[in-house]
Amino acid sequence: MDHQIDNPKLAFAYLRPACVLLTREPTVGNVESLSTQLRHVNDGTLQQLQDYVLFPLRFVLKIPGPKQDGLVQAVAEAMAYILENTCVHCWQTLRDLLSELCLCLCSPTDPGKPAPASEELKAAILRCLDALLHAAYGDVVFKLFEPTMLPGLGAAISLLLALGEQEKSRTVQAAALKCLQVLTLQCDCSLDHVSVGQKERHVLGSTMASFLPGITIAVSRVITGDMRHGHTVTVRAVKVWFKTVGLVMADDQLQKAGCEEKPPTELGRVGELVVQRTPDWMRNTSGRLALLLKNIISCTSAHQHWRVRLEMVNLSDHLLTNCKSSLGECVGLLLEALVGAVNDEETIVRERCEAALMDVAERSQSSDGNNQAFTDVLSENLHSLATSLPRLMRTSDDQRKMFVLNVFLGYLKILGPRVTSVLNSATHLQRLSKALMQVLELDVTDVRIVEERSSILTEETGVGPHRPHAQRKHFLYFTDERIFSTVKEICRMLGYYGNMYLLVDHLMDLFKESAVYRKQAAMVLNEVITGAAGVVVTRCQERQAKPSQEDLKSTVESIIEEYTSPSHWHLSTRISEDSESWEPEQLSQSSLLSISNDVEGKGNALQSVHAVRKNSTIHDLNSNIWQICIQLEGIGCFAHALGMDFRLILMTSLYPVLEKAGDETLLISQAALNAMWDISQACGYASLKELINENSDYLLNNVSLNLQRLGVHPHAPRVLTVMFSHSDSSLLPLVGDIVQDVLLALDMSYDETSPLFCTVLHSLMKALARWFPSGIRITNENNKAKKVWCEQDQLNVHQFLLDFHKQMELAEGIGVEEDVGTENPEIPPLTDLDEDMEGPDVKAELPYHITIAKEVMERCVHLLSDPRLRLRLKVLDVLELCVCVLSEKENELLPMAHRCWPALLLRLTADDPLAVLRAFKVLCTLGETCRDFLRKRVSKEVLPKLTASLSKQAPVSARAGPVYSHTLAYKLQLAVLQGLGSLCLRLDLGDSDLDAVTEACLPYLSCRQPPKLQEACLSVFRHLIEADPDAFWFTLNELYCPCSYSPPHPNLQPVQLSGMGVQRNEYIDNVLKLLEIFGLPQDTTSRNPKLR
């Protein structure tokens, strides 16, 4: 077949026998041989022989009587081949072929119904029909649509519709629908098509108007019918539907409806078929179409296959483009369908839809004739949607909710700048805001909200460089996070296009009106401002008037003022204030739970507040917590909205945020931290530290103001705490006068406010201790050095003996007191410190943190004897920190230590066990730095009491059961034992003291004691061994000696230790553990240098 015949004469000669044969004997074989031969003739030649070769084929079809399916099919295929490769010039041919093919399709008995033929046959005939219509020349094809042709055309159309609707095979269905589409000259396949001019189109439209009801009804049945018939058929059907409707109802045709000429009267009965597209007809039709459309859209918009949804978008777009005014009733439906697809999960659908919406929006703006009507439709839709929104949110599933909200959003996007005028209508605004309020209702029943406590107050280093992740909100009516983000986008859209002042006023009214809407109103408000600033808005259209930065700023300022007003900011978030009962009464009054603003007059306010407080449920508290969080989020949003301009607002807004960052409720403090991060990003600060340092003047101004009125503003200490925990020492110079204020205020009133101030002092000292790490570690290093020195010494037995001998000679009778190991290392740190000083005469100005620490310590001395235990404990903590900070300047520490000693001593000896515990910790810390100062005092005043109590308690704890470890007495024992060893070592206590300690501790080596106490006691001995190895080796061996020592020379007397040969007793385990420190017992005979 590489060479086709291109000579007509040759071709004729070639084809003639087959044609003649076929005419004589109509068999399948003959048809097929003809069609094989046809393929050897090229297209141009075939065109010339078209009529000739078609004749035998048509002849076969015209043979009266029933025919074989196979034969007809073969004929149809052959004809299709011819028609696909040639053109039809002759009207006669076209008309005849059309009717002949239709005849083949319909049943011989009932011409309106399709024949019960095989699928293949139908497919072949449909293909042939398709080819025929494609092959028809422009001048002939339009004759099809002349009124005289209406009956024939109608028959064809109804046949095709019947096939499309009732046929079982999908291919036939699709092919029938495709034919229908071709028949209306709206084919979209890749072949060449007749170009349809304006006038022809009009004719086409008029003709098809007659069949519009039939086509639309039947096709919509196809669309909405069986969902199983696959997407190809549905897509094709949708296409046919909207192409037909678009053709008949086209605006440009109908506008000229008036000037339509009367139908020619000579048509006779056929004339009755002609439809006049009058306005009346248009209205009726549009109404009916709206019904159909509703069905179609509801079926397709949620269709599983994206091609169907895409086709639905095409439908909406096509009809909105071409028939907006004639299909007045359908516009709302179409828009809804379109905007509902804006957030389709399939990108192609989404993009197509966005483009369509853009077109719609632009068209609606440019043409002002229908503008108002269009806006009305949109705003009406929006209104009814807003009305039904709360109900839909309550009842439908997440998928449906998402769809509804997308539709909502889509409307706003199309309305664009006209949102302003829609919102100007009070009912619309009311409806819209109420809907949002109801949709955004939060679920506040979770107990954890109020339970979770933040640890910022106790945390050492504050929060790291990463922002905590935002807490998820739980809504009453939906769970999907995407739904929330859509609602947020709706709010932003409102802010972007709407009148900012109007919206803000309205929402602020809602916010103030009642607690029911307060949280939602704040949420919406936050997003509206974000939208108004144009941040995070996926832009659709340019808006007309962007609010100026100045307007935005003043609006934000007023909102923040409202947010941070005491009645909305200081809400009660805790079940009882008992834990802080020492806070002034005003505090509890200011942190009132605000239920409603119109409490019955000011006079009763307090009473009712108290009544409410008692009844405040977890529900209310949670609600309050969330409200504060949302307001904090809002401040973050506003910062982003204003950018650098927010810096000026920091003067008033940063302080409240920090106030909340120090809040004890986890949720609030996290929200506040997030807000701080938002602010620092928006204002161009690299970190929270920078934010606080750069704005410390603003913060401190508020802090100092509020410190003077602590009763009314009790949160200033909290702010200071937060500042300290996020900042560094560069803050110190600025804080200076605040600290002075605090100390002064403390001096003025020791009674009421001291607990609060103590909190400030505590955080201050903690920060100082963090910023200026003290030199306590140096002493530790000295100890290590000493240890090494001892070990080196141990190796040289000879030298030791010489030294020992010398010592014995020198200190005859004095004995142990002047031990070498303990005296030497004590001096270096002192001399070091002396050398650090610039000289005795020049009194160098003290670093500021030292001055502060001194002043704070001074106050601690007074507060240590406060009757309130909680306060005493806190003061002890502060005191310990003071000691840490001061430890770098021993000259300053010692006088202070001297001053606070009497008070501390009282805490150690005659106070609540809890206080003793803390005081002992302080003592240990103090012992790290000023050992000489403490040595005598401890041995005289503290040790006797401690050892006495240890000795007294030892038998008790030895007998006690497992519950004992929960008692305070146990904890005290443990604390003392844990600290005692290092204290003794640090202070270099004398031997008599060490003996006393040993005596008190020995009972605790018993295995009958609770394990933890044994361990603590072991640690005491380890320290003691470090201090004086020989003495304690001896002491331990007195208790139990695991091996015997034979003298290396017969002249030496054998060693006798009282622990030798002792039977197993309760101390053995621990003694053995301790003796391991000295090395393995079997080697001791030759190496042990510790013989006296």
Partner 1 sequence: MARPAPAPLYTLRGAGSALNALQFRCCGGDTPLLFSGSAQGSVHVWNLITRRAGKVLDGHSGASVIWLNTLLSRDSLISQGRDMRVCQWDLAEGRSDVTDSVWTGSVGFCRCSLLETGPGRWLLAHPGEAMEEVKVIELPSRQPVCSLVPQRKPGMVMCINLWQPDSGPGPLLLAGYEDGSLAVWDVSLRSVLSRVAAHPEPVMCLAFDPTGQRGVSGSSEKSLSSWTLDGQHRLQVSEAPGSHSPRQPWDLTTVYPGGR
Nearer CB in complex with partner 1: 712/801: 712
Of 284-292, 434-442, 516-524, 643-651, the window that binds partner 1 (rule: CB under 8 A) is 643-651
Quick check: 648 binds partner 1 (CB under 8 A)? yes
Distance linking the first and last C-alpha atoms of the chain:
125
DSSP 418: G
Of 207-215, 325-333, 702-710, 913-921, the window that binds partner 1 (rule: CB under 8 A) is 702-710
Nearer CB in complex with partner 1: 336/741: 741
Of 49-57, 697-705, 847-855, 1026-1034, the window that binds partner 1 (rule: CB under 8 A) is 697-705
Q: Among 1071, 1080, 987, 1000, which residue's Cα sits nearest to residue 1027?
A: 987
How does DSSP assign 677-692, residue by residue?
Answer: HHHHHHTT-SSHHHHH
Nearer CB in complex with partner 1: 579/701: 701
Of 56-64, 561-569, 694-702, 926-934, the window that binds partner 1 (rule: CB under 8 A) is 694-702
Quick check: 701 binds partner 1 (CB under 8 A)? yes
Integer Cα distance of 1026 and 506 in angstroms: 77
Nearer CB in complex with partner 1: 584/1042: 584
Residues 6+ apart with CB under 8 A from 368: none
Nearer CB in complex with partner 1: 143/709: 709
Instruction: State the minimum distance, in angstroms, from the CB of residue 654 to partner 1.
Output: 13
b/e map 308-334, b = 16+ CB within 10 Å:
bbbbbbbbbbbbbebbbbbbbbbbebb
Q: What angle do CA 332, 338, 343 make, to 5 degrees?
A: 135
What SS3 state is found at 665? strand
Nearer CB in complex with partner 1: 358/734: 734
| The 3-state secondary structure of 317-380, one letter per residue | HHHHHHCCCCCHHHHHHHHHHHHHCCCCCCHHHHHHHHHHHHHHHHHHHHCCCCHHHHHHHHHH
* Number of chain residues interacting with partner 1 (CB under 8 A): 13
Instruction: State the minimum distance, in angstroms, from the CB of residue 434 to partner 1.
Output: 41
Quick check: 708 binds partner 1 (CB under 8 A)? yes
Instruction: State the minimum distance, in angstroms, from the CB of residue 705 to partner 1.
Output: 5
How does DSSP assign 848-915, residue by residue?
Answer: HHHHHHHHHHHHHHHHTT-S-HHHHHHHHHHHHHHHHHHTT-HHHHHHHHHHHHHHHHHHHHSS-HHH
CA 605 to chain centre: 39
Tokens of 569: 């900011």
Contact residue for partner 1 among 10, 20, 63, 705 (CB under 8 A): 705
Q: Among 163, 167, 66, which residue's Cα sits nearest to residue 109?
A: 66
Integer Cα distance of 850 and 858 in angstroms: 12
Instruction: State the minimum distance, in angstroms, from the CB of residue 314 to partner 1.
Output: 58
Integer Cα distance of 870 and 661 in angstroms: 24
Integer Cα distance of 973 and 950 in angstroms: 7
Instruction: State the minimum distance, in angstroms, from the CB of residue 776 to partner 1.
Output: 33
Integer Cα distance of 715 and 708 in angstroms: 12
Quick check: 745 binds partner 1 (CB under 8 A)? no
Instruction: State the minimum distance, in angstroms, from the CB of residue 556 to partner 1.
Output: 17
Instruction: State the minimum distance, in angstroms, from the CB of residue 759 to partner 1.
Output: 22
C-alpha Rg value of the chain to the nearest Å: 49
Q: Are 477 and 405 in contact (CB under 8 A)?
A: no
Contact residue for partner 1 among 391, 610, 709, 784 (CB under 8 A): 709
Tokens of 545: 């008037």
Contact residue for partner 1 among 320, 700, 884, 985 (CB under 8 A): 700
Of 140-148, 407-415, 526-534, 692-700, the window that binds partner 1 (rule: CB under 8 A) is 692-700
CA 603 to chain centre: 44
Phi/psi for 126 (5° steps) reads: -65, -35
Instruction: State the minimum distance, in angstroms, from the CB of residue 701 to partner 1.
Output: 5
Quick check: 698 binds partner 1 (CB under 8 A)? yes
Quick check: 551 binds partner 1 (CB under 8 A)? no
Instruction: State the minimum distance, in angstroms, from the CB of residue 730 to partner 1.
Output: 13
By CB under 8 A, what part of segment 135-154 binds partner 1? Answer: none
Instruction: State the minimum distance, in angstroms, from the CB of residue 433 to partner 1.
Output: 36
Contact residue for partner 1 among 166, 704, 949, 965 (CB under 8 A): 704
Contact residue for partner 1 among 21, 257, 734, 1068 (CB under 8 A): 734
Quick check: 697 binds partner 1 (CB under 8 A)? yes
For the four alpha carbons of 589, 595, 597 and 600, in that order, the dihedral sign comes to negative
Of 515-523, 696-704, 837-845, 949-957, the window that binds partner 1 (rule: CB under 8 A) is 696-704
Contact residue for partner 1 among 87, 227, 273, 651 (CB under 8 A): 651
- List the alpha helices (DSSP H) in 498-593: 500-513, 515-532, 549-563, 566-569, 585-590
Quick check: 788 binds partner 1 (CB under 8 A)? no
Nearer CB in complex with partner 1: 252/737: 737
Instruction: State the minimum distance, in angstroms, from the CB of residue 437 to partner 1.
Output: 38
Of 32-40, 127-135, 344-352, 693-701, the window that binds partner 1 (rule: CB under 8 A) is 693-701
Q: Among 496, 500, 480, which residue's Cα sits nearest to residue 538?
A: 496
Of 338-346, 378-386, 464-472, 695-703, the window that binds partner 1 (rule: CB under 8 A) is 695-703
Instruction: State the minimum distance, in angstroms, from the CB of residue 700 to partner 1.
Output: 6
Nearer CB in complex with partner 1: 647/889: 647
Q: Are 445 and 619 in contact (CB under 8 A)?
A: yes
Nearer CB in complex with partner 1: 522/703: 703
Quick check: 730 binds partner 1 (CB under 8 A)? no
Nearer CB in complex with partner 1: 544/701: 701
Q: Are 626 and 449 in contact (CB under 8 A)?
A: yes
Instruction: State the minimum distance, in angstroms, from the CB of residue 714 to partner 1.
Output: 16
DSSP 271: G
Residues in contact with partner 1, shown as a per-residue x/- string from 929 to 958 under the rule CB under 8 A: ------------------------------
Q: What's the half-sphere exposure (Cβ side, CA atoms, 13 Å) at 706?
A: 21
Q: Among 66, 6, 60, which residue's Cα sits nearest to residue 31?
A: 60
Of 128-136, 273-281, 486-494, 647-655, the window that binds partner 1 (rule: CB under 8 A) is 647-655
Instruction: State the minimum distance, in angstroms, from the CB of residue 696 to partner 1.
Output: 9
Of 286-294, 448-456, 467-475, 701-709, the window that binds partner 1 (rule: CB under 8 A) is 701-709
- List the alpha helices (DSSP H) in 367-447: 371-395, 398-415, 419-424, 426-439
Quick check: 132 binds partner 1 (CB under 8 A)? no
Q: Are 138 and 175 in contact (CB under 8 A)?
A: no
Instruction: State the minimum distance, in angstroms, from the CB of residue 733 to partner 1.
Output: 8
Integer Cα distance of 291 and 245 in angstroms: 14
How does DSSP assign 959-991, residue by residue?
Answer: H--GGGGGSHHHHHHHHHHHHHHHHHHHHT--H
Nearer CB in complex with partner 1: 253/564: 564
Nearer CB in complex with partner 1: 659/993: 659
Instruction: State the minimum distance, in angstroms, from the CB of residue 713 to partner 1.
Output: 10
Quick check: 378 binds partner 1 (CB under 8 A)? no
Question: Would you tell me which residues interact with partner 1 (CB under 8 A)?
Answer: 647-648, 651, 697-698, 700-701, 704-705, 708-709, 734, 737
